Structure 1
Amino acid sequence: MQHFEVNFDGLVGPTHNYAGLSFGNVASLNNAKSSSSPKSAAKQGLRKMKALKDMGLVQGVLAPQERPDIYALRRLGFHGSDKEVLAAAAKEAPAIFRACCSASSMWTANAATVSPSADTMNGKIHFTPANLTNKFHRSLEPDTTGRILRAMFANSRYFEHHRHLPDNEHFGDEGAANHTRFCCDYGFAGVELFVYGRHAFDDSRPAPKKFPARQTYEACAAVARLHGLSDDNVVFLQQNPDVIDKGVFHNDVIAVGNQDVLFYHEEAFIGQEEAFRALEEKLGQSMHFIEVPSALVSVEDAVKTYLFNTQLVTLKPGHMVIIAPTECQESDVVSRYLENLVTQGTPIKEVRYFDVKQSMRNGGGPACLRLRVAMNDQELAAVNPHCILTDSLFARLNQWVDKHYRDELSSDDLADPALLDESRMALDELTQIMHLGSVYPFQRG
């Protein structure tokens, strides 16, 4: 039996825009209200997916959300036709309107937490959509995310789906962006590392002072229970509150792991020595802990270039590749560090750079764009095949983007009723291409 780690990348939606909604995300705030290019963003994402497929990896596609979210606006008291709702919301409550137009679902690292069958008590792959309660614009996503995941992983023999955690910041859950699984091989039982920013029910514990800690310990523990994980394959670790206050809003902005490697910044965590010992003890082998010193790369440079918001993938045993944004290549400090890293005798042997600037300007790098699912060949065969990237699907999705996406989108364009119609037409066609059924609210009545 073969085993894989499949990356399911988020397909950028037709209303991709820069609304500057994410307090604590420096890149998002810096580019607020700039004009975006939905077509360029979608094609950049597709090119990255195709490149990973061409490396020999199994690559999947995850559909975007419907935006603007007319249904959320109606729940907030805006009435009339869709055109009237858009016009009233944009005029009377522009900040709320922009939130309901968010493009954030493209970052599927926040879509859900996934535990593979090798780790769970019932031997199924478990999915829990993230509730994303810390940001209103992201809290609109979980229900649709759950429907999309169920359409992709529909076979109940292999897959188990849970409802997102209660919609309360005590159980703030940001999904796989704060979750990393370590293993000897993707087919063997592993150890799942849950990283959190604060204890919601204990104010005496350390917590950031400037920016919010979006992930709570209580949320991590709840997901571990839902997935049927045992104490033998779970470790909890707190993110350093000081780096959250420097703009490290998720763990995947300051650390990335794969198999027996954890690549992280010196200032990433608190209490890491005990957690690292527990990881090795529970895994039953030594790990490669690759620490980047502050003296070589500052937290600020790491955030600016998204050095750690990179993908770490295995091409063959002992040979890992960092999939990095071109911003890392353009930084003298970071590129010099990476050039040296691949000569140090660790499993990280290569760095490959990709242009994902449309995503980077909104605060998400390569790691934000993908949801990882470790599975065996039987489980892979049970996945909706129209969600697995092939050359023909790549070509068809590019044609779909060319047909439906605008070259440029300004913040004022979001209130254009024609954009809503264009978006719905595009998404309706996408669900047919990917055989998802009626996952969007406009399709469900």
Structure 2
Amino acid sequence: MAFAEINFDGIIGPSHNYAGLSLGNIASANNAGAVSEPRAAALQGVEKMRANLRLGLPQGFFMPLDRPNTAWLAGLATDMESAEPHIRAAAFSASAMWAANAATVSPAPDTLDGKCHLSAANLLTMAHRSHEWTGTLAQLRLAFADTQHFTVHGPVPPPYGDEGAANFMRLCPSHGEAGIEIFVYGKAGGPFPARQHVESSKAIARAHRLDPAKTLFVQQSETAIAAGAFHNDVVAVANERVLFTHEQAFEYPDETYADIKRLMPEAEIVIVPADRVSLADAIQSYLFNAQLVTLPDGGMALILPSEAQENTRVWGWLSEMVAGNGPIRTLIPVDVRQSMANGGGPACLRLRVACDPATVDPRFMADEAKLDRISDVIAAHWPETIAPDQLGNSALVSTVRKAREALLDACGLAELR
């Protein structure tokens, strides 16, 4: 088996807009009402994927979901013309672009049946995301249809909230070896809701047939949630043997680190001190919402938003880190400003799946030629801008639907219509 970690990025959909729907997401709230640029946003995402390919990293992608979601509106006995503005905006949301929230993934080396398990997230805490799972599940079942290697699960039922891999980390000697799985849940966050319930995390661990002796359930810091770290991946990220984390990421850090070292003594924990990089700086720059990846030569790199480079305190600490003898030796800034303005950095845009790429439906795997086709469709069909007062506009609805259909046709995925 040619085992590898594949980053599946969500292609940013043609309905990308700034409605400020995500309570606790500071960037989303601060940019509510601004004019979005769906075409530029999607092209930025494609360029990030292209850059990963050129680093020698396997790269996949997911399609935007059908928007507006008329089936969801019908369930509320309304439609785009008559719905209240916040309902209309929720139906139109392109938030499925953040594929880190699509599912939780347990690779085959960690599971008792030797299959890779994926559980679609229910995202029920936020109205605009709560109706994503049906479209996401259909896509997961298509991309990972090889039942010899994958088991795809539906979402955890209400009332327990699950927001996918954004609240999940895996540590292992290498992607193809058994490791430990860390589920991070919230309890409270000042004025903001905790989106990941421990009941959901435990249900997923059972469904994925994980070894309880190699599974941890860790509470996210209430201070971090209150500061705007609405997901764990805003304050911590892991890759193979390395955990890169803010000092204030976890409610009980000493116990968390001790449990990790007990289960995996070779784990390296890189802690960014709060007196060097505050939570406010970490959240503004999305320092930890980076892709921590292993390069083909074996070294590790952080693929992080250009906002981190622009924050002098963040970049100063990072520069000192990579100049030392630590495990992370390369910094790669990328431009995903349109996503950042809505509260999602490089790590939000991707779902990590460790498996043999040959077992994945090849239509979901990227190469340069396919990314060229995707870019051409985006350039030709994605709206250049969307203002908040356009969300109920029938002409925009038609444009958005036709744009997505053109992309599905270009990628040979018409069955997702």
Normalised to the residue count of structure 2, the TM-score between the two structures is: 0.98
Corresponding position of 1:225 = 206
Q: CA deviation at 1:277?
A: 2.4
Q: CA deviation at 1:150?
A: 0.8
Counterpart CA distance in 2 for 1:263 and 1:165 is 28
Counterpart CA distance in 1 for 2:184 and 2:411 is 33
Residue number among 357, 381, 389 corresponding to 2:337 in the alignment: 357
Corresponding position of 1:371 = 351
Corresponding position of 2:365 = 388
Residue number among 113, 119, 123 corresponding to 1:128 in the alignment: 119
Counterpart CA distance in 1 for 2:132 and 2:143 is 16
Q: Tell me the secondary structure at the aligned position of residue 92 of structure 2.
A: coil
Tell me if structure 1 keeps the 8 A contact 2:182–2:216: yes
Tell me if structure 1 keeps the 8 A contact 2:57–2:296: no
**AA aligned opposite 1:3:** F
Residue number among 396, 413, 416 corresponding to 1:436 in the alignment: 413
Residue number among 244, 247, 263 corresponding to 2:228 in the alignment: 247
The Cα offsets for residues 321-349 of structure 1, whole Å up to 9 and x where unpaired, read as 00011101111111111111101211100
Corresponding position of 1:5 = 5
Corresponding position of 2:246 = 265
Q: Is residue 398 of structure 1 aligned with residue 375 of structure 2?
A: yes
The Cα offsets for residues 158-188 of structure 1, whole Å up to 9 and x where unpaired, read as 11011101132xx110000000111101111
Corresponding position of 1:165 = 156
What root-mean-square deviation, in Å, do the aligned CA atoms of Structure 1 and Structure 2 show? 1.2
**AA aligned opposite 1:423:** V
Tell me if structure 2 keeps the 8 A contact 1:318–1:347: no
- Unaligned runs of 5+ residues in structure 1 are 79-84, 199-206
Q: Is residue 347 of structure 1 aligned with residue 327 of structure 2?
A: yes
Q: Tell me the secondary structure at the aligned position of residue 166 of structure 1.
A: coil
**AA aligned opposite 1:31:** N
Query: After the TM superposition, which segments of 4 or more aligned residues of structure 1 sit over 6 Å from their partners?
Result: none
Corresponding position of 1:293 = 273
**AA aligned opposite 1:86:** M
**AA aligned opposite 2:118:** F
Q: Is residue 420 of structure 1 aligned with residue 397 of structure 2?
A: yes
**AA aligned opposite 1:315:** L
Counterpart CA distance in 1 for 2:153 and 2:70 is 26
- Unaligned runs of 5+ residues in structure 2 are none
Residue number among 337, 352, 356 corresponding to 2:317 in the alignment: 337
Counterpart CA distance in 2 for 1:334 and 1:432 is 42
Aligned positions, number? 417
Corresponding position of 1:77 = 77
Tell me if structure 1 keeps the 8 A contact 2:383–2:399: no
Q: CA deviation at 1:212?
A: 0.6
The Cα offsets for residues 389-431 of structure 1, whole Å up to 9 and x where unpaired, read as 1111011000110121111111122212122222222222323
Corresponding position of 1:202 = none
**AA aligned opposite 1:362:** N
Q: CA deviation at 1:195?
A: 0.4
Counterpart CA distance in 1 for 2:35 and 2:102 is 25
Corresponding position of 1:31 = 31
Residue number among 148, 158, 166 corresponding to 1:177 in the alignment: 166
**AA aligned opposite 1:306:** Y
**AA aligned opposite 2:88:** F
**AA aligned opposite 1:348:** I
Q: CA deviation at 1:437?
A: 4.4
Correspondence 1:82-101 to 2 at 5 A: 85-89=79-83, 93-101=84-92
Corresponding position of 1:197 = 186
Q: Tell me the secondary structure at the aligned position of residue 415 of structure 1.
A: coil
CA gap of 1:146–1:58, structure 2 versus 1, over 3 A, is same
Q: CA deviation at 1:139?
A: 0.3
Q: Tell me the secondary structure at the aligned position of residue 295 of structure 2.
A: strand
The Cα offsets for residues 92-118 of structure 1, whole Å up to 9 and x where unpaired, read as x11111111112111010000001011
